[in-house]
């Protein structure tokens, strides 16, 4: 699957771009979101992403210098300044995107990148051909701030009246994506649905306890929360 890095010293803008890329190109995996040029170059060297979306004006090293030192990664500049376009294409940039970036312009860029992306591995089962792969990141809002949350850090998801609660560490976020839609996009080797309104990370489970009435509850590692297991999903723990 193709991979990309996003480097921008404005984390909110980076998170927004990551969310839009994930929405328009679900197969793309975001492997890093550094906030300065030095970190960007280090992460490019370490992860060797297929594509790097670079801001031009960044602390440490600017995006043009990062592009000149990066090898094996195709660079797309995302900037508010149009005066660097000639230098950008001299640095073999694939594209030059101006902020604020419209969906139409981003989609044109994605179409170009998809032609250059590595060919996907052959699909063994025909019915999986339309599978876009598990999601890796979630964007969550808190007031005027948008945060990027790694799905692997989530302990559990729980449906509320109108939203889905995302529980990460000591924080709880709300997203509008229904739990039933999340269930289709989460990695089944990492997450399981245990109740109509609950999906839990397998890594977060400490133990499962059965009460005197035969009902199961999940106890989580380093958390006081306990989660119900409905009869429909009790078979997951039938060894108990």
pLDDT digits (tens, 9 = 90+) for 143-188: 555 667 889 999 999 998 778 999 998 888 888 888 988 898 899 9
Which pLDDT score is estimated for 124?
34
pLDDT at 119 over 70: no
The mean pLDDT of 21-47, rounded to a whole number, is 93
- Alpha-carbon distance of 78 to 217, in angstroms, equals 48
Query: How large is the C-alpha radius of gyration of the chain?
Result: 21
Give the pLDDT band (50/70/90) at residue 238: low
* Digit-coded pLDDT (tens) for 79-107: 998 888 888 877 778 999 999 899 999 99
CATH 3.40.50.2300 fits 3-116, yes or no: yes
Pick among 3.30.1490.190, 3.40.50.920, 3.40.50.1370, 2.40.50.1020: CATH of 149-237: 2.40.50.1020
Nearest to 174 by CA among 138, 222, 135: 138
- Alpha-carbon distance of 73 to 56, in angstroms, equals 16
Percent of the chain with pLDDT over 90: 52
Q: Where are the chain's structural domains?
A: 3-116, 149-237
CB contact at 8 A, 174 and 165: yes
Give the pLDDT band (50/70/90) at residue 133: low
Tell me the whole-structure pTM to 2 decimals: 0.50
CB contact at 8 A, 229 and 217: yes
The mean pLDDT of 215-234, rounded to a whole number, is 90
Which pLDDT score is estimated for 125?
29
Structure tokens at 71: 């090898």
Which pLDDT score is estimated for 131?
44
pLDDT at 128 over 60: no
The mean pLDDT of 22-44, rounded to a whole number, is 93
Cis ω for the linkage preceding 100 (within 30 of 0): yes
Judged by DSSP in three states, 124 sits in coil
CA geometry: angle 134, 136, 137, nearest 5 deg? 135
């Amino acid at each position: 699957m193709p991979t990309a890095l996003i480097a921008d010293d404005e984390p909110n803008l980076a998170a927004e771009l990551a969310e839009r890329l994930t929405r328009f190109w679900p197969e793309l995996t975001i492997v890093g979101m550094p906030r300065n040029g030095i970190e960007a170059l280090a992460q490019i060297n370490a992860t060797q992403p297929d594509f790097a979306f670079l801001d031009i004006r960044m602390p440490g090293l600017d995006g043009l210098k990062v592009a000149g030192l990066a090898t094996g990664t195709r660079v797309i500049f995302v900037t508010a300044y149009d005066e660097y376009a000639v230098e950008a294409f001299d640095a073999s940039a694939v594209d030059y995107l101006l902020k604020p970036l419209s969906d139409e312009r981003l989609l044109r860029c994605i179409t170009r990148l998809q032609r250059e992306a590595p060919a996907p591995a052959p699909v063994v089962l025909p019915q999986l051909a339309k599978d876009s792969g598990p999601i890796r990141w979630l964007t969550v809002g808190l007031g005027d701030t948008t945060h990027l949350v790694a799905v692997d850090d989530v302990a559990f998801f729980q449906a509320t009246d109108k939203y889905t609660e995302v529980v990460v560490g000591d924080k709880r976020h709300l997203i509008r994506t229904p739990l039933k839609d999340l269930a289709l996009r989460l990695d089944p080797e990492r997450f399981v649905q245990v109740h109509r309104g609950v999906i839990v990370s397998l890594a977060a489970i400490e133990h499962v306890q059965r009460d005197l009435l035969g009902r199961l509850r999940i106890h989580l590692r380093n958390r006081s929360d306990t989660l119900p297991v409905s009869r429909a999903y009790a078979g997951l723990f039938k060894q108990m």
